[in-house]
Structure 1
Amino acid sequence: MSPSFSTRILAAAAVTVTAAAALTGCGASSTPSASGSGATDIRLAAVLPNTSDPFFATISCAAEAQAKTRGVELKTYNTTNTDANALATNFQTATLTQPNGILVTPFNNNQFLAQYTDLMSKGVPVVTGSPSEPQAEYKSIYSDTDTAPLAADIASLIPAGGGSMVFLGGAPGIPPLEQRTQPFVDAVTKAHPELAALPTEYSGFDVNKATTTVSALILAHPDLKLIIAADGPDGLGAAAAISQAGKAGQIALVAFDAVPGEVDALKAGTITALIAQNPTDIGAKSIDALVDYLQAHPDGGAISPDGTVAVPNKVLTKDTVGSPENAGFLYKASC
């Protein structure tokens, strides 16, 4: 499983649904190619999971917008939940349409390894947000996992003095989640020895449980100065607990991702900072990679893997979240 998903894998760990349910209301949609001199005969397909999650919804929206900009046709075959069988069905449906290139991002990075190899041998580039091991796709474009440097960006946001801190880890044993969050947690812990680290708490991505847990922590540890939340549900739950306790501004809350509810809490002051991925950039770059390759190789031929692109994360605060340059870091529920 690729580190690109980070917190996105949480849904796959927390929810199991049937393929039939995943396909309900999830027919393919198409972005018409633009007219004019920029239009081409390139036909692309995108197969994304769980677009009920704003992260994936934003990738899909950005891909559709970029396809229109580049003057190519894009048909999407997305699921609205995390069932791997549903995604496999949609991937098969997409490939049967014989697109010139395909964007596909499974939760299991090697789920379509054999299919990637076959498509690439036939001159069909594959771009994914979940790098296979060994790499079989043309290019992987995903969120950078090196979040340790971002610890310096939130240092001034932590209330001064000694106290304690806690990490809300979502759920244990999810490598992509840990690969993105743990470097940041380790860096903050090392940089702030005055904060005693409490045992990691796991809510199973349940907002209500996170709220209850953090409320109990605030009562048990009146010196609590910092909460780091690995995902949206834990961030929202912690924000609710801080608000209920009247501790906004007294406890710093740094949460990963930038779903609409988190952004609202950031603006309200109950979340201090967000560590956001850039799904807009991921979606646009994925389409660009496919179109650029196809335009450079009009005669086709077998394709070799061409490495990865790590899209940086960014710290957003109440003061910076509204900046136009940060718009791509805000997740959308729909286009």
Structure 2
Amino acid sequence: MIRSAGIVAAAALVLTACGGGGQIGDSGNQASSNKKMVLLPGVAAEPFYISMECGFRDAAKAAGYEVDVQAPASFDAPQQIPLVTGVLANKPAAVLIAPTDDKALAAPMKQLKDAGIKVVEVDTKLEDTSVAVSTISSNNEQGGQLAAQTLNKLAAGKSGSVLVLNTKAGTSTTDARAKGFEDEIKKYPNLKYIGQQYTDNQPDQAASKVTATLAANPDLIGVFATNLNTGEGAATGLRNAGKTGAVNLVGFDASPKQVQDLQGGVVQALIAQDPAGIGKQGVEQAIAAIEGKEVKRDIETNLVAITKDDASANEKYFYKQKC
């Protein structure tokens, strides 16, 4: 979820259901009377997914669909799987879902598909590419590369260690961000990559891992936090250690708290996504599949790096707390 670097064009593009090259939906279903559509985000009450929900609601309602949104209390497969099962019983025309595990959600999501429900992945995705008709996500490897490039600029030639804080192994988006960062950071010999640590998507764990890493690596010069919760936790860890500003923190996403930390100098850069755009495009691809039109199988949106100096010019990328 990270998203100035001047590479935001694709995030703003609206891809039509007739976009070139893709999977064809089932024919003969162009006049479906089923006007129910469901969004299953990765976690409740998170600004990234709230912003996605806003885009989803606006697009689905504009197309005449009844909408429902159900999210687990935490980014956790055992909590999300019962929601998928519950949705199956109601048989909506389409389900947009951010799977919380790229393997564990495969079987429940396949049940949706087997029941004739169109499945669209938003943000995260399964390893099994046969379940969803379309996947809409940020170009997460590109986001990790952008984070490494930004951290190198912030270091301004100084040498030191850099750390990646990831969420949970098996989360497709954050794993891709970490990979992009790892590949890119090798280009900067002044920055010593000391690996990634997992936080279980808990801010308090991110804070404690930053504190422990500082104790073991006094030359720590940068931290890349791969999502909202790790970014907020890393900021707390740096505050507690009295290292605000001394260690450059690049976060992923642009929640209200992260933006506040950016403007206050606690965070030096944010890689922001376009979650509302992802939700909107998810609806478009779902409707194309329902109506038997051409569906674009994979859609990747670009991201933007935001610093304190250009924050006001990039306000449209700030995430919402309510629709």
TM-score range, shorter chain: 0.7 to 0.9
- Superposition deviation, residue 194 in structure 1: 1.4
Q: 2:225 aligns with which of 211, 225, 229?
A: 229
Q: Which whole-Å deviations, capped at 9, do the CAs of 1:84-119 have from their partners, x for residues lacking one?
A: 455343334333333232223332341334324423
Q: Which runs of 5+ in 2 are unaligned?
A: 3-32
Counterpart CA distance in 2 for 1:217 and 1:100 is: 48
Work out whether 1:154 is the aligned partner of 2:155.
Answer: no
Where 1:319 maps in the other structure, the secondary structure is: helix
**Aligned-partner residue type, residue 163 of structure 2:** F
Q: Which residue of 2 aligns with 1:282?
A: 278
Structure 1 vs Structure 2 CA RMSD = 3.3
Q: Which residue of 2 aligns with 1:103?
A: 96
**Aligned-partner residue type, residue 230 of structure 2:** D
Determine if contact 1:253/1:271 at 8 Å carries over to the other structure. yes
Determine if contact 2:199/2:205 at 8 Å carries over to the other structure. yes
Counterpart CA distance in 2 for 1:132 and 1:223 is: 38
Q: Which residue of 2 aligns with 1:133?
A: 128
Instruction: Note closer, same or farther for the CA distance 1:334–1:183 as it changes in structure 2 (3 Å cut).
Output: same
Alignment of structure 1 residues 241-320 onto 2, 5 Å: 241-244=237-240, 247-295=243-291, 307-320=297-310
Determine if contact 1:159/1:251 at 8 Å carries over to the other structure. no
Determine if contact 1:77/1:91 at 8 Å carries over to the other structure. no
Alignment of structure 1 residues 52-91 onto 2, 5 Å: 52-91=45-84
TM-score by length of 1: 0.71
Q: Which residue of 2 aligns with 1:144?
A: 139
Counterpart CA distance in 2 for 1:287 and 1:102 is: 9
Counterpart CA distance in 1 for 2:222 and 2:81 is: 41
Work out whether 1:207 is the aligned partner of 2:203.
Answer: yes
Determine if contact 1:232/1:255 at 8 Å carries over to the other structure. yes
Number of residue equivalences: 286
Counterpart CA distance in 2 for 1:167 and 1:87 is: 30
Where 1:274 maps in the other structure, the secondary structure is: strand
Instruction: Among all aligned residue pairs of Structure 1 and Structure 2, give the percentage whose two residues are the same amino acid.
Output: 24
Counterpart CA distance in 2 for 1:144 and 1:291 is: 23
Counterpart CA distance in 2 for 1:51 and 1:86 is: 11
Determine if contact 2:147/2:271 at 8 Å carries over to the other structure. no
Where 1:50 maps in the other structure, the secondary structure is: coil
Counterpart CA distance in 2 for 1:275 and 1:196 is: 21
Determine if contact 1:167/1:230 at 8 Å carries over to the other structure. no
Counterpart CA distance in 2 for 1:323 and 1:163 is: 31
Instruction: Note closer, same or farther for the CA distance 1:213–1:101 as it changes in structure 2 (3 Å cut).
Output: closer
- Superposition deviation, residue 323 in structure 1: 3.0
Determine if contact 1:167/1:185 at 8 Å carries over to the other structure. no
Which has more radius of gyration?
1
Query: Which one scores higher on RCO, CA 8 angstroms, separation ≥ 6?
Result: 2
Where 2:257 maps in the other structure, the secondary structure is: helix
Q: Which residue of 2 aligns with 1:321?
A: 311
TM-score by length of 2: 0.73
Determine if contact 1:166/1:200 at 8 Å carries over to the other structure. no
Determine if contact 1:44/1:73 at 8 Å carries over to the other structure. yes
Instruction: Note closer, same or farther for the CA distance 1:318–1:185 as it changes in structure 2 (3 Å cut).
Output: farther
Counterpart CA distance in 2 for 1:179 and 1:264 is: 26
Q: Which whole-Å deviations, capped at 9, do the CAs of 1:186-213 have from their partners, x for residues lacking one?
A: 312x232012333544444443444344
Instruction: Note closer, same or farther for the CA distance 1:330–1:131 as it changes in structure 2 (3 Å cut).
Output: farther
Instruction: Note closer, same or farther for the CA distance 1:241–1:91 as it changes in structure 2 (3 Å cut).
Output: closer
**Aligned-partner residue type, residue 160 of structure 2:** S
Determine if contact 1:248/1:270 at 8 Å carries over to the other structure. yes
Determine if contact 2:224/2:250 at 8 Å carries over to the other structure. yes
